[in-house]
Amino acid sequence: MFPVEPFRMKRRYSLQQSIFSSTGISEEPFMQQLDFLEDEVQKMVVKIVLPAKFYKEVLRDLQCMNLHRASLFPDLDG
């Protein structure tokens, strides 16, 4: 796994402070590319499922961290 810079930088990438990662095998699905981690994948990749009752609170917290539609997709309609 290593960081990758795109060939063409878009305004959105710099505003999002994006970083792309790659294992170097673009033909395989992402999770399949992580098979080399074996049992360690559980420690490296985490899926978080929040109950619906936290939806508004989480959106408010993300807004405070400047993570919202306009900051994530500034060149689109948001």
Are 20 and 3 in contact by the 8 Å Cβ rule? The answer is yes
How confident is the model over 3-45, as pLDDT tens digits? 666 667 666 666 666 677 776 777 878 778 777 778 887 777 7
Which CA distances in Å does 26 have to 31, 32, 35, 40?
A: 12, 11, 14, 22
At 78, the pLDDT band (50, 70, 90 cuts) reads: very low
pTM: 0.44
* Whole-angstrom Cα Rg for the chain: 16
Residue 53 has pLDDT above 90, yes or no: yes
CA atoms within 13 A on the CB side of 2: 5
Domain boundaries, the chain: 1-45, 48-78
User: Which residue in this structure is represented by tokens 């673009």?
Assistant: 26
